Amino acid sequence: MKTVKQIIEENHNEMVEYLRRIVEFESPSRDKEKLDVLAEWIASTFRKLVGGKAEIIPVENYGNHVRCEWGEGEEQILILSHFDTVWPAGTLEKNPFRIEGDRAYGPGVFDMKGGLIQGLFALKALREAGIKLNKKIVFFFDSDEEIGNPTSKKFIEKEAQKSERVFVLEPAMTLEGGLKTSRKGVGIYELSVKGIPSHSGIDPDKGVSAIDELAKQIVRLHSETDLTTGTTINVGEISGGSTVNVIAEHAHAEIDVRAKTVEELNRIDRLILGLKPINEKTQVVTTGEINRMPLERTEKVQEMFEVAKNIAENDIGFTLIEKETGGGSDGNLTAPFAPTLDGLGAVGDGAHANHEHLLVSHMPKRSALFAELLLHYAGIKEGAGIGDTNNRS
């Protein structure tokens, strides 16, 4: 009787063919028409490969999302995968899907269409092995992760609140294939300063420079960066003034904040929203909010990683490591509600870069790892026939 691992290995060529198909659906985050076409393909592919339920979640102005279910049970496990990419329509003409040696190239192949396909083939293998799980598996595919989840956030958070745990099929960290057990939280803010304009040559004493105030505020903010704790504040965009011989009346900055813990992110949030003028003759207004809470390495997250590590070493045959990252993902949205393990997707390099690629040879073992994780946490339904423990990798 074939194991899940053997089934996935035998399906390797088919997996790569489905990778080609999904990469050749271009899916820029703000192109609703293209995203909706891909959403329909994902729903139909899920029904075909997995045999579960697939529902299109319609959204105005942005791409539709897809919610799929497989299995039964009162308890729920959530799987997350986004299908939008940072690449504009037409990128395929310059950077087509292709395989060179062990590397598959193409827009979104690594971030994160490879992980999406690996996830589908993990469920397909469980189905082919005749395994029935004790828990309901919800696979949510969102269309707007790359632009901050403006429409999918509420759906993802709702599903997370109903879930025992969450698995995210984002790319692995580095070519070592590390899982992501910690992600920094993110805050996005705007800082506006109003000064008093005057002629810089005739009446310099009558003016109060908004640019001068903004510069001092930037120095104040950047002093809060602490690389030892992982807190970073980056003023990434600035503008101000009207012309060279006028003391600036207006100045503006956009701020990116990253922090490892909820406590620290909330502290910086209060600091920025509570900024006061250094020069009391200016007016300072800050707006913005925490966009994504941190995915903290809690005891439950650590336990999930240890389970994955043991499966990788003892059942699949490779060494698994863990990493932390400053980037955000759908996993940041679920972390406040359920223990979340991220980075279970493709192994490769070059997310958002022209050399983006994944390692084709790693796809079966990553897919098998994910299938075994589901088996571990969902359990096998009694009386499931051939889907007993002898069927595991």
The 10s digit of each residue's pLDDT in 141-190 is: 999 999 999 999 999 999 999 999 999 999 999 999 999 999 999 999 99
- Helices of type H across 223-313: 262-273, 299-311
State the sign of the Cα–Cα–Cα–Cα dihedral 324, 330, 332, 338: negative
Q: b/e string for 122-160 if b means 16 or more Cβ within 10 A?
A: bbbbbbbbebbbbbbbbbbbbbbbbeebebbbebbeebb
Q: Residue 391's pLDDT band (boundaries 50, 70, 90)?
A: very low
pLDDT band at 385 (very low <50, low <70, confident <90, very high): very low
Same domain assignment for residues 268 and 306? no
Looking at the 3D structure of the chain, how many domains does it have?
2
Indicate if 337 and 307 belong to the same structural domain. Answer: yes
Per residue in 294-307, pLDDT (tens digit) is 999 999 999 999 99
What distances in angstroms separate CA 177 from CA 16, 99, 272, 284, 319, one per listed residue? 19, 20, 36, 45, 9
CATH code, 252: 3.30.70.360
Residues 31 and 75 placed together within one structural domain of the fold: yes
Check whether residue 170 and residue 314 sit in a common domain: yes
Q: Domain end: 267, 292, 317, which one?
A: 292
Query: Looking at the structure, do residues 37 and 156 belong to the same domain, yes or no?
Result: yes
pLDDT for the residue 389: 42
pLDDT at 392: 52
**Do 179 and 112 share a structural domain?**
yes
* Same domain as 77, residue 226: no
Instruction: State whether 28 and 175 are in the same domain.
Output: yes
Quote the domain boundaries for residue 247: 185-292
Check pLDDT > 80 for residue 388.
no
Helices (H) and strands (E) in the chain, counts: 11, 16
Mean pLDDT of the chain: 96
Residue 386 confidence (pLDDT) above 80:
no
Task: Of 20, 59, 13, 19, give the one whose Cα is nearest residue 39.
Answer: 59
